[in-house]
A and B are shown apart, each in its own frame.
Chain A
Amino acid sequence: MHVTKLRPTAALIRSALGLLFFLSLSLFQGVQAQVGTQRVAGRVLGEDNKPLGGVSVKIVGTDRGTVTTDDGTFALLLKAGDKVEFSSLGFGSKTITYNSQKSLDVSLTATVGSQLDGVVVTGFQTIDKKKFTGSSVNLKADEIRQPGVVDVSRMLEGRAAGVSVQNVSSTFGSAPKVRIRGATSINGDNKPLWVVDGVVLEDIINISNDQLSSGDPTTLLGSSVAGINSNDIETFDILKDAAATALYGARAMNGVIVITTKKGRSGKTSVNYTGNFTTQLKPMYSEYNIMNSAQQMSVLGELDRKGILTPNILSGANYGVYGKMYDYINTPDANGNFRLINTTEAKAAFLKGYAATNTDWFDLLFKNSLVQEHNISISSGSEKSQSFFSTSLYSDNGWTIADKVKRYTLNFRNNYKFSDKLSAGFLTTASVRQQNAPGALSRVSNPVSGQYDRDFDINPFSYALNSSRTLTAFDANGNREYFRRNYAPFNILTELENNRLKINVIDLKLQGDLSYKFSKHLRYEFIGALRYVKSTREHEITENANMANAYRAADNATMRASNQFLYRDPDNPAAEPVVVLPYGGFYNRAEDQLLNFDFRNSLNYNTTFKDKHDLTVLVGQQVKLTDRQTSSNTGYGYQYDNGGIPFVDYRILKQTIEASFPYYGMSKDFDRFAAFYSNVSYTFDRKYNINVTGRYDGSNRLGASPSARWLPTWTVSGSWNIDQEKFMESARWIDYLKLRGSYGLTASFGPATNSEIVLRSATTNRTIPTDRESVIQLANLENADLTWEKNYQGNIGLDANLFKNRVNMSVDVYNRKSFDLISQIKTPGIGGETYKAANYADMSSHGIDVLIGGTIIKRRDWSWKANITFGYNTTKITNVKNIPLIFDLIQAQGGNTEGYPVNSLFSVQYAGLNHYTGVPQFVAGTYKGGGDSLAADVYFQDQDISHLKYEGSVDPKYTGGINNTFTYKAFSVNIFMTYQAGNKIRLYPAFRTSYSDFDAMPKEFIDRWVMPGDELKTNVPSVVDAYQRYLISGQGAQPYNTYNYSTARVASGDFIRVKNVSLTYNLGSAMLKKWHMNSFAITGVANNPWLIYSDKKLKGQDPEFFNTGGVAQPIQKQFVISLKAGF
C-alpha cells in the first residue's frame, strides 16, 4: 500500500520522523560512493535495554534490508557511508550512517503517546498517519492493559479523549456503557461498532440502552468483546469522526473501535507468558450508609409502637426478627411448650439478642477470592510464513459466594506468502466461558407503583445492602437460621446454593484473507469470516430453594388466600387456592445463538507520478449475513435431589396458560447486509491530502420493502501537514503539525423495521382458555418513508508533536447533527396505528476532545511521562414529539423529551414534610385526584410533566483520564486516574410506605421526622404508623416512592477515581541473558483503590453503578500481581 520508490513495503511502519531525517540527509549529503561491502551484525535495543524484535533495518535508497530477530539481532551487508534506517511500530525511527565499525548497536526510544506515529488501521485500510485525514486515536494494548481487568472495553476508560466508559455493572460478561462522543440517537443504539481484524463483531443479543443497567440475566451476554483475550490485542484504533469511519457508512454513526490482534513475526520463535493473580476486597459496611443492628432494632421498636409489627405479620409474605418472635410465642413444640413465653421481659430479651447481632452480610456473602489468568503465546515464522498461537485461561472463583467464571481462549493465526504476488492469512479464534451467577429473573417495570419489580432477587450485593443486620444467618448452635420471604423459610446462604444461574458460551471464529498483487499498482484483497456463538443460560432452582418453597407455602387460610404463587382455578373461583408445585423446583433454560458470515472483496490502486502526486483508489464490495436465535423454556417440578425426574402437576401448566403466558418461546432474527464502497485519496507534495469516500449500503433491517433498503453515505475530508511547509523550517521545535477537517454523512439502524406492514402472531386475551385463538396482529403499518437514522458530522482537528517529540497534543472540535431519528409520533390513528415510530426526530451534539501527552522529565536513569485526555460533549434533542409519562423521565436511567439532552433526569418537586404526619409532599401540578397544589404523590402515568424539575443528563458532559508513568532504572510506577463530571444520579430508592422487619434502612433514618416541627429540621420522612399507612394505601397514594423520585433524592455524578496504580520491575539484560530469557517483568497493581471525589449525598453509592439487583455488581477493589516472561 502506498508503495513508492523511496519507501518500499516496510515503509508502512516507518515513522514520520524517520522519513524527515532521511529526506534531509539525502538532500544535503548526497550519495557517497565507496567500495567494499562487509557483513555487519548488530543489535537493536529498546529504552529499557530490552532487545527489540521485528525492527525493520533498511539501507536507504536501496531495496535491501532485514528485520531483527526476537533477541534484537540482525546482520546485513554494508559498506561505509550506507545510511541504515531502523524503524519499528511504536518506536521512533533512527537513521545511522555506517562508518565501517564492526558491529552496529542501536537503541530506539518508544514514542510517547503513539497517536502521531505509524499508521491508522480502519479495518478496511491501513493508512499512513501522515496521509490520514480523520480523527482517530491509536492505543497500544500493551500500554493500556490493566492486569485484572478482563473485559477489553473497560480498558478504554479515560484512555481516549471523547470515549466515555461507565461501569454500570462489573459482572463478567456485562457491558459497560461505552459512548464515543456521546449519544447520536434517541431510541436507537448509541454504542460503538466493534471491529476485530477487519470484521464487525456482532452482538449475540442486542441489549438496549436501558437494559444495560437492568441486572437482568441477559446482560451477562451484553459485552460482545467478553470472549476476547486482551493479551492477543496489538492495538486499538478508535475512529471518531466521519472521515475515520467513512468506510463503515450506514453503521458508523456511533464511532468504531477497531481491534487488531497480534501476528506472528519472522525470526526466532518466541514464547511469552503472562500470569495475573488477583484478589478482590470484600465490601465493608463502613463504606455504606446502612444502619447497624442496634439502630435498626430501635426503628423496629418504633414500627412496633406504631402498630406495624403486630402478630399479623405472621400471615404476611416476609418477616424477620419480630415475625420469628411471634412465631415462637404462638407455636407450641411437640411437648406443648412455647419456645418463648408471652411476657414483656421475655420478648425484650429475645429482641435484645438480635439487636446485638450486627450481622456482616458482606462478610458472609463475599470472599477475598483469587482470580487467576494465564496466557501463553508463541510467535514464530520466516519470511514466507509466520504463525502466532496463544491460549489463555481466566479463572475467577468468585467475589461473592454465588459467582464463578472460567474462560478459555484460543487464537491461532498464520500468514503465508506464496509468492511476491500472492499471500494469505488464516485466523482461528475460539473462547469457551462457564459462569455461575446468583439465580435471577428479569425485572419488570411497574408503571403503576413506579418501581421495578424483580421476584426472588438474591443478588448478594443488594441483599447485603437491603437486608436488616438484625437478621442472622446462623443461630446460637451454628445451624442455619431461617426467616421468611415469599411466605417460605429463607436463608440467603441456602438460597444461593439452591438458586443459581449457569451460563455457557462458545464463541468460534474462522477468518481468512487473501491478497494478490496484479502489478506494482493494483492489488486485490479478500477477507472472509465465519463466526458461531452459542450460549445457554440455565436457571436451576432446586426443591430446597425459597422460590420453589414459595409455591408450596399454604400453611393457613390467610396465607393460602394471599400467596400469589398458589393456583386459583378460574372455573371455580370460590375454591381455596391450591399448591401446584408439590415436588421439585424449576429448570429454566434460555439459549442464544448467532451465526455470522462476512465477506469482502476489494481492489486497491495506488500510483505516484511526477514524485508529487500520490493517488490511491479503493473499490470494494461487502456481504454480511447474521442469523440469531433465542429461545427460553420453563421447566416445572424438576427434582434435583431425586434423580432428576420432573414431577409436573398439570395445573401449574394450566395456571401459566390461563394467565396468558407461554411456558416456552423461541424467536429468530435475520440480518442481511450488502454494501459497495469506494475511497479516493490524493496527496500533493506530501503536504495536502484530500480524501473522498462514498458508500452504498443495503440492509433488510428496515423490512422487506426494496424502497427503504439502500442508503448512500459520503464523506469529504482533507488535511494539511503544516510542518512540511517551507516557512515552518525555522520553527525547529515543531516536529509535526497537521490540521485536519472532515464532513460527512453517517447512519445507523433505527429501532423500526416497518418499511412493509409488520404482522405478528399472538394469542388472544380472553377469559376462558377454550375461547382463545392464535391470531395475527397488525403490529405496525407500512411506513413507505422509513429510512435509516442519519447524522452529519463535522470535525476540525489539530495534531502536533513538539520539542523533539517530547510533547504531543491533539485537539478536535466537532459538531454533529442527527436527523431522521426514529421516535414515536402521535397520529390521528385513522390509519389504524396511533403511535407510530417515524424518522422525524432531530438532535444535535457538539464537543471537544483534547489529548496532551509528553515526557516531562527525561534523565539517564529516570523519567516521568504524563498523558491527559479530556472530552466534553453535550447533546440536545431539538425535535421530538413523543409523549413521555412522568415515569419515563424520573427513572435512574433518564428519559427523553424535546429541548433537553438525551437521557435527561427529571424529578418530582419535593415540597417538605407534612406538619402532622411527616409524610413527604410534592408540587403536583394538575394532580388527577384534585386541585391541591401540594399532593401526597403524583400519578406516574400522567402525561403532564410540566411540574417536573429538570436535573441534568445522566450521561457525563466531561470525561477523561490522567496517566502518569515514573521510571527509575528497572522500576516504573504508573498512576492512572479517571474522571467524569456534569451528570446527575438518582439515589437508591430507599424509602417505602411500609417496612418489614426484614428490610435494612439507610442511616438517614436516624434523622427522620418524629414529631410535628421536625419538618423544619429534616427532609427525611417519618416512618408511618399503621393508621396512616391504611389512609395512604386507601387513597392508592405512594408518597414514599414518589419521594424516591423527588428532588430530594438526586446527587451530582462528578467523580475522580484512581483507577489503577502499578509498580513494575523489569529484569536487567544481564540477568535475562543468564536465564536465557528475552524479558521478565513483575508488576503489582491496585485497581480502583480510591474514589478521590464524589458527591457527599451518594453516601457510599458508586457513581457509576446502578444497583438494580439481579446479576449486577459494582466495580471492585482489586490487587493484582502480574508476571510477564518472554523466552
Chain B
Amino acid sequence: MKKIFLYSSCGLLLMATGCSKFLDKEPDNRAKLSTPEKVSQFLATSYPQANYQGFTETMSDNVEDIGNGGTDLEVSDPYRWLDSRQNQQDSPEFYWQSCYAAIAVTNEALETIAEAGNTTAYKTQRGEALVSRAYAHFMLVSLFSKFYDSATAATDPGIPYVLESEKVVIKQYQRNTVKYVYEMIEKDLVEGLPLLEDKNYSVPKFHWNRAAANAFAARFYLYKGNYAKVIQYASESIPGGAYGPNLRGWNDLTSPYNTITDVTELFKVYSKSTEAANLLLVETSSIWARWFYTERYGVGQAKQTEVYPSTDPLTGGPVAYKRYSISNGSHQLIPKIDEYFVRASVNANFGQPYVMVPLFTVEDVLFNHAEALYYTGNVTGAIALLNTYASRRITNYNATTYNITLAKINTVFPVVATDLGTKRLPSVIQAILAYKRADFVHEGMRWFDVLRYKIQVVHNLKTGGSAVENITLTPNDLRRAIQLPLSALQAGLELNKR
C-alpha cells in the first residue's frame, strides 16, 4: 500500500515538473522578437501612427472661420484653443496615445536587445529604437508642455519620459521638467544617431534613415537654440548642401507636379516615398485628408492670400503651387494630403482612412539650416539658401530677375511694420518663416513656429450674418500647451494650468 502511494506521488511530482514546460506553449500565433530582423520589423511601428496636422494647423494662424463647412470637434475645439473633447483620430489625445504606443515599442525593443547582450548584430536596431524614442518624446514635450525656453525649462512641467515597458494596468508616472525631457531626448538621439545604417531598411523612407535622423537632430537643436549643432546636423542630413535638386519640384516642368493634370492623381504625389524631398514618412490613421478643405475652420480666401499668395512678395515671381478651391471658392487648398482608405472588407463601403504624413522634408532642413546660419552671423549663407529655395518655387525661375537680397528682405519684411505678434523678429527670420509657412500649409508645421516665436494668433468667429468676433491667443497664453488627456490624472500626473 505504501509503495503504491510512493509510486503515484513520484509520478505526480514528475508530471508537475513536466507541466511547466508543457504550459510554456504560446496560446496562439504570436510573434517573438527572436532575431535582429524581427526587432527591425517591430521597430517599423515605433513611429507615432497618428496625425498632428489637423489640430496643430487649426490652432495656428493659417486658418480662419470660413462660415460654412464641417464642424467636427476635432477641428472646431482646437480652433477655439479649447481642451479637446475628442479622443479619436486627429485629436490631441489620439496623438498622445500614439506617441506613447511608439515609445512602448522602442522600450520593448531596447529591452530585447539588452537581453541579447547589446551585440553588434542589433546595432542599427538599437539606433532606430533610441532615435524613435527621442522623437516621440520630442513631439509630446513640444505639444503638451510649455515650449522649450532655456530660462524656465528647469521648472516647466514636462511629460513622462518612459524608459521601460509598462507591466501593470495602471502605472504611476512623473512629468519631470522640460529640461529633463530635453536632456533625455538629446541623450537618446546622440546615442542612437551614429548607429543607424540605411542599408538595413527595406523601405528606408519609412524609417530613420540617416538623412531623416540628422534632420530630426537639426530641428531638435533649433528648438533648443543650439545653432552650431543645427548647422552640423543639417549639413550631415543633406551632404554638400545639395538642397536644390532635392527640393520638391513644384516649378519643375518635368516633375509630376506639372506633368499630372488630374487633380485626384496630383494628391497622391506629395507624400510619395519616391519624392526626394520627403525624408521620413509615416502612415497615420487620420481623416485629415477629407477635412483640410471641407471643415468650416480652414484656409479661406483671405488666408490663401496671406499664406500662399499667387505672387511671391520677395522675388515678385509667380509661385508654382497648384492651387485649387472648392465650395464656390470659399475653401482653398493645395493638393497635398491624400487619403488611403482601407475597407473593412473587400467590398465594404466603410473602413479606416489613413494619411501618409511627411515628418521630415528637405525643405524643413533648409529652413532650419537658414535660421541657424542667420543666428550664427552668416546672413549671406541664409539668404543663399532662400535663393536656392526660391529656385524651386517660382515658375520659370530666373536667377537674376528673382534674386533675393538683404535689401529686398528688409523692404518686404520690415521689423516694425509687419510685426508678428509682440516679439519683434529680424527681417531675415521673418522671410524664412513666411516661406516655411506657405510651404507647409495644411501640414500643421506653422504651429511649432507660433510656439517657438510666441507669435500671437487671432481667430475670427462668424456668429451669423456679418457679425464677427475675434479670439486671441496671446504670446504667453497658457493654452499654448495642449491639455493632457484627463485620464493622465490616474497616472498621478498634474494637468496643465489654465
Contacts and interface: CB of A to CB of B under 8 A. Distances in A.
B348 A518 contact: no
Interface in A6-22: none
Contacts of A601: 8, 11
B165 A781 contact: yes
A518 B4 contact: yes
Given A771-B206, A783-B167, A832 B29 contact: no
Interface string B323-356: 0000000000000001010111111111010101
Contacts of A784: 167-168
A592 to B, nearest CB: 14
B496 to A, nearest CB: 14
Interface in B236-271: 262, 264-265, 268, 271
Given A446-B348, A765-B340, A776-B41, A832 B166 contact: yes
Interface residues of A, number: 85
Interface in A844-886: none
Given A519-B1, A656-B346, A698-B19, A777 B27 contact: no
B101 A785 contact: no
Interface in A737-783: 753, 757-761, 764-768, 770-779, 781-783
B44 interface: yes
A603 B8 contact: yes
Interface stretch (A23-31, A227-235, A476-484, A670-678): A670-678
A1046 B234 CA distance: 60
Interface string A689-723: 00000000011111110100100000000000000
A625 B21 CA distance: 13
A838 interface: yes
B169 A704 contact: no
Question: Considering residues B25, B28, B348, B354, which has the most beta carbons from chain A within 10 angstroms of its beta carbon?
Answer: B28
Contacts of A828: 170, 173, 485, 487-491, 493
B33 interface: yes
A767 B352 CA distance: 12
B58 to A, nearest CB: 17
Contacts of B107: 832
B302 interface: no
Contacts of A759: 30-33, 42
Contact of B45 (A564, A768, A776, A833): A776
Contacts of B338: 767
Nearest to B349: A564
A773 B44 contact: yes
A931 to B, nearest CB: 12
* A667, A753, A778 — most chain B CB neighbours (10 Å): A778
Given A757-B108, A771-B273, A783-B168, A659 B32 contact: no
B25 A661 contact: no
Interface string A434-466: 000000011010101100010100000000000
B104 A766 contact: no
Nearest to A669: B28
Contacts of B104: 778, 781, 831-833
Interface string B90-123: 0001001100111111011000000000000000
Contact of B283 (A672, A764, A836): A764
Contacts of B491: 827-828, 830
A791 B492 CA distance: 32
Contacts of A768: 272-273
Nearest to A774: B41
A757 B165 contact: yes
B1 A773 contact: no
A833 B491 CA distance: 13
A838 B283 contact: no
A522 B4 contact: yes
Contacts of A779: 30
Interface in B11-35: 11-12, 15-16, 19-20, 22-33
B283 A834 contact: no
A760 B41 CA distance: 11
B20 A706 contact: yes
A775 B41 contact: yes
A758 B348 contact: no
Nearest to A519: B1
A698 B205 CA distance: 46
A297 to B, nearest CB: 30
Contacts of B29: 667-669, 760-761
A518 B169 CA distance: 52
A956 B105 CA distance: 45
A826 interface: yes
A672 B22 contact: yes
B94 to A, nearest CB: 9
Given A776-B45, A830-B100, A771 B205 contact: yes
B38 interface: yes
A709 B340 contact: no
A829 interface: yes
Contacts of A838: 169
Contacts of B170: 825, 827-828
Nearest to A840: B169
B342 A660 contact: yes
B139 interface: no
A565 interface: yes
A965 to B, nearest CB: 48
A829 B487 contact: yes
A659 B264 contact: no
B300 interface: no
A700 to B, nearest CB: 5
Contact of B27 (A670, A766, A836): A670
Given A574-B264, A668-B29, A766-B206, A444 B24 contact: no
Contacts of A709: 23
B101 A704 contact: no
A699 B23 contact: yes
A709 B22 CA distance: 12
B158 interface: no
A776 B38 contact: yes
Contacts of A570: 268
B203 interface: yes
Given A659-B342, A826-B487, A829-B96, A836 B101 contact: no
Contacts of B356: 766-767
A1110 B105 CA distance: 40
A869 to B, nearest CB: 38
B199 interface: no
B420 interface: no
A778 B23 contact: no
Contacts of A833: 101, 104, 166
A621 interface: yes
Interface in A650-690: 656, 659-661, 667-672, 674, 676
Interface string B257-298: 000001011001001110000000101000000000000000
A1096 interface: no
Contact of A674 (B22, B93, B105): B22
A764 B167 CA distance: 26
B162 interface: yes
Contact of B100 (A670, A776, A777, A832): A832
Contact of A831 (B100, B346, B349): B100
Given A455-B348, A761-B31, A781-B166, 7 more contacts: A453-B349, A703-B26, A766-B206, A766-B354, A770-B203, A774-B41, A834-B97
| 4 A-B pairs with least C-beta separation | A832-B104, A831-B166, A775-B44, A767-B340
13 contacts: A518-B1, A522-B1, A524-B8, A570-B268, A672-B22, A706-B20, A759-B42, A766-B206, A785-B168, A827-B487, A830-B160, A832-B103, A833-B104
Interface of B: 1, 4, 8, 11-12, 15-16, 19-20, 22-33, 38, 41-42, 44-45, 71-73, 93, 96-97, 100-105, 107-108, 160, 162, 165-171, 173, 202-203, 205-206, 262, 264-265, 268, 271-273, 281, 283, 338, 340, 342-350, 352, 354, 356, 485, 487-491, 493
